Chains A and B, each alone.
Chain A
Amino acid sequence: MAGPAILLLITFLAVPFVLAFVLSFTNQRLLSPNPTEFVGTQNFARLLTVQLLTLEPEIDPATGEPGRDAVGNLVYPRVRDYTRRNPDHPELDGLQEYMDIRIGESKVVVLVGDAVFLRSLINTLVFTLVIVPVQGGLALLLALLVNSRMRGVNVFRTVYFVPVVMSMVVVSLLWRFIYSPQGGLLNGIIGTITFGAVKPVDWLGDTALALPAVMLMSMWQAVGFQMVIWLAGLQLIPPNLYEAAAIDGAGRVAQFKHVTWPGLRNTAIFIFITITIAAFGLFTQIDVMTRGGPLDATSTVIFQAVEHGFRKQDLAYGSAISVVFFILVLLVALVQRRLTREKA
């Protein structure tokens, strides 16, 4: 009787899962006239290569001093002379400039195989590092607020949970209007409150503001989910523990510290891990709101997997990104196992 389910899981989960690893070592495309070939670790090399190149200022032959351009900046050799078929630097061939750091007069250039992917990986990690504590903490605050016998408290629980049942596509388009620079709601509210002192801001068009704007919207949508799970955890704590603590003279803060928080340990692990994994998978908001822009400021790992694997039909490279994503998730899951085991 388990047959149909097992067959479906093999076809649509096990086979593609194994295929992700296999494809990532090939040059498979969705539709291609050329036969598929194994290319070794080429895809992973492109994803993960990082090289440093130190450049010294060019010496002006006339003066023997480092040359300066019209505005007085030091002149360095062009990076592309090193990365375009330079026989002296085969290891730098085809690499892209990610950033550079000035140390004294020399310039250290960070060269990577795929600058957009590295940017996406960093964006994803930054998003995760912010969203995990903030969303998890806010959800706990909400759960504590509505965990009472007050009359009408159910109305608040219902309201906080509503965005969770809404589609992320709907929420993204709705917030696109809220963030819009042309008559958007957020600028309207800020302008009204400050009597026009604050000028309209292009929230999603600014490289510094776009990712935080996506974070706020994502939390608005998802925090009710974790609230419900915290609430379930809170209700497992025996009420007599609170009574005992109150008799011992513990105030609200002390009760939270010594009764509530220790009782929520496993719930906390579960919540932080699930937010982490969901945050790693950040995609829909990005695809609908920013398409990874401006200047890749909101591009993410899964957005890149879809860009390559689907839009550019490069299944092999998209699969390699999926494998990197899975390894990240696996690491987090291993941390969870460790933490849950330690409880004894």
Chain B
Amino acid sequence: MATSSVRQPHERAFRTGRFVAMVAFAAFFLFPIVFMFVSSFKPNEDVLRDTTSFRAFLPVGDISLNNYGDVFEDVPAGLFIFNSLLITCTTVALGLVVNSMAGFALSRLRWRGRNLILTIIIATLIVPFETVAIPLLLVVSKLPWIGVADGALTIEQGWLNSYQVQILPFAANAFSIFLFAQFFKTLPMELDEAARVDGASGLQIYWRIIMPLSGPAIASVAILTFLPIWNAYLWPLMVVQSEGVRPVMVGLQYFFKVAGGGGGGGGVRWGEIMAYLSLVTLPVLILYLALQRAFVESIASSGVKE
């Protein structure tokens, strides 16, 4: 800026002040996370003892991976992680397909009632999941599913304690549809017209032409679906009681009860708890650091809806 050369001393003080503030905030946001990772390598007693000194944030003392081993011994943490991976990946994949198809139909195909449907879908954005969670519990407890019993297909009633109850309710998402529709509108219509002249069907145009051009929208929707499903707590808490399909976050709450000092003497096993916390945070953190730009852009895109 032109004025910066005129008011140099003032400018320098301002910049120093700003830098100090930025570092202070960075410390505020990082200290719990550093503490979490560092403590996950320490014996339970050391975690408590170190809180009174700077050692709390340093990997010093009796460092080992024992806590991680203990986590897998105490609870089937590997199974919980597998369950969450399966649920999250399936929801993201399914969500990308159904929402992009809907977005395509609502932005690039012409049919009666299209604008009405789009308006209704956008209107549903105002309904938070918490509003429908309780009645949805009743709905999924009544829905039928095809099961296998004695080598024959049977119809079972009720989705409680299953994978599908954690996946299907979140596959279609009004905001994802909206994001796809908005993005598809920015692609030139001539693409579709040229393809139609060559005899392509709507489905072919969608799959062969539009989707390959929609990387940014796909990334945004994938991230915006991935995060809440991996971190899901309220819904799986209500619909999953059996260990076999339990996801990581509910497993974490369960593990906290195991390591929370209930019986057996000794206090809360904080070292092990920090190991579990680190274990479920690391995948998301790595993904975030690798795809930072896409993460931040997907969040920013949620702010531009009007």
A residues with a Cβ closer than 8 A to B are 1-2, 4-9, 11-17, 19-20, 23, 28, 30, 142, 145-146, 148, 150, 156-171, 173-175, 177-178, 180, 182-185, 187-189, 191-192, 220, 224-225, 228-229, 231-233, 242-243, 246-247, 252, 266-267, 270-271, 277, 280-281, 283-284, 287-288, 302, 305-306, 309-310, 315, 318-319, 321-323, 325-326, 329-330, 333, 340
Asked if B98 and A4 make an inter-chain contact with CB atoms under 8 angstroms apart, the answer reads yes
Cα distance, A122 to B97, chains bound together (Å)? 42
Bound-complex Cα distance A277 to B304 (A): 17
Q: By the criterion CB–CB under 8 Å, are A162 and B29 in contact?
A: yes
A270 to B303, CA, bound (A): 7
Determine which of B32, B126, B202, B233 lies in contact with A174 in the assembled complex, contact meaning CB atoms within 8 Å. Answer: B32
Known contacts A4-B98, A228-B296, A228-B303, then 13 further A-B pairs from the complex at CB < 8 Å, ordered by chain A residue: A1-B202, A12-B170, A16-B138, A156-B25, A162-B33, A167-B233, A169-B253, A188-B56, A243-B1, A252-B14, A266-B306, A284-B233, A318-B134
CB pairs A–B below 8 angstroms (20 shown): A1-B105, A8-B171, A13-B174, A19-B135, A145-B25, A148-B18, A162-B288, A165-B284, A173-B256, A175-B32, A177-B270, A188-B52, A228-B300, A229-B302, A243-B2, A252-B14, A310-B134, A322-B132, A325-B131, A340-B306
Chain A residues with CB below 8 A from B267, complex form = 182
Contact between chains at A9 and B281 (CB < 8 Å): no
**B48 and A183 contacting across the interface, CB-CB below 8 Å:** yes
* A310, B234: Cα distance in complex, Å: 11
Chain A to chain B: the 9 pairs with minimum beta-carbon distance, closest first: A188-B51, A8-B172, A309-B134, A5-B102, A229-B303, A183-B48, A167-B231, A19-B135, A16-B132
Q: How far is the CB of A29 from chain B (nearest CB, A)?
A: 10
- By the criterion CB–CB under 8 Å, are A15 and B139 in contact? yes
**Cβ–Cβ < 8 Å partners of A225 in chain B:** 299
CB < 8 Å neighbour of A6 from B117, B130, B233: B117
Which of B30, B49, B233, B280 has the most chain A CB atoms inside 10 A of its CB?
Answer: B233
A170→B252 CA distance, assembly (Å): 8
- How far apart are the CA atoms of A266 and B267 in the complex, in Å? 50
- Checking A9, A167, A185, A252 against B249 with a beta-carbon cut-off of 8 angstroms, the contacting residue is A167
**What string of 1s and 0s marks CB contacts (under 8 Å) between B259-288 and chain A?**
000000001101001100100110011011
* Residues A20 and B52 in contact in the complex (CB < 8 Å), given A243-B1, A305-B130: no
Does B137 have its Cβ within 8 Å of any Cβ on chain A? yes
Complex: how many Å from CA A340 to CA B304?
13
Residue contact A173 to B252, C-beta cutoff 8 Å: yes
Contacts of B289 in A (CB 8 A): 158
- Which residues of chain A have C-beta atoms less than 8 A from B28's C-beta? 220
Q: Which residues of B contact A189 (CB under 8 A)?
A: 51
Interface residues of B (CB under 8 A from A): 1-3, 14-15, 18, 21-22, 25-26, 28-30, 32-33, 35-36, 48-49, 51-53, 56, 98-99, 101-102, 104-106, 109, 117, 121, 124, 126-128, 130-139, 141, 143, 168-172, 174, 177, 202-203, 206, 227, 230-231, 233-234, 237-238, 249, 252-253, 256, 267-268, 270, 273-274, 277, 280-281, 284-285, 287-289, 292, 295-296, 299-300, 302-304, 306
Q: Is the CB of A302 within 8 A of B124?
A: no
Given A12-B169, A315-B134, A2 contacting B102 (CB threshold 8 A): yes
What residue of chain A has the Cβ atom nearest to residue B54's Cβ?
A192
Cβ distance B88 to chain A, nearest Cβ, rounded Å: 12
Are A185 and B277 in contact, CB atoms less than 8 angstroms apart? no
Contact of B30 among A9, A159, A329 (CB under 8 A): A159
User: Residues of B contacting A333 with CB < 8 Å?
Assistant: 126
Minimum distance in angstroms from B169 CB to a CB of chain A = 4
List B contacts of A146 (CB < 8 A). 22
| B residues in contact with A160, CB < 8 Å | 25-26, 29
Q: Do the beta carbons of B127 and A17 come within 8 Å of each other?
A: yes
Q: A30-B137, A225-B299 are in contact. Are A169 and B233 (CB under 8 A)?
A: yes
The listed residue with most A CB atoms (<10 A of its CB), out of B134, B227, B280, is: B134
Q: Is the CB of B130 within 8 A of A8?
A: no
Expressed in whole angstroms, the Cα–Cα distance for A305 and B238 within the complex equals 12
Considering the chains assembled together, what is the distance between the CA atoms of A127 and B272 in angstroms?
32
Q: Which residues of A contact B124 (CB under 8 A)?
A: 9, 13-14
On whether the beta carbons of A325 and B53 are closer than 8 Å, the reply is no
One of B3, B268, B273 near A246 (C-beta < 8 A): B3
**Given A8-B171, A9-B124, A220-B32: A322 touches B135 (CB 8 Å cut-off):** yes
Chain B residue numbers with a CB within 8 Å of A252 are 14
Q: Are B52 and A191 in contact (CB under 8 A)?
A: yes
The listed residue with most A CB atoms (<10 A of its CB), out of B3, B26, B132, B230, is B132
- Closest A residue to B251 using CB positions: A169
- Do A173 and B300 form a contact, CB below 8 Å, given A167-B231, A246-B1, A322-B134? no
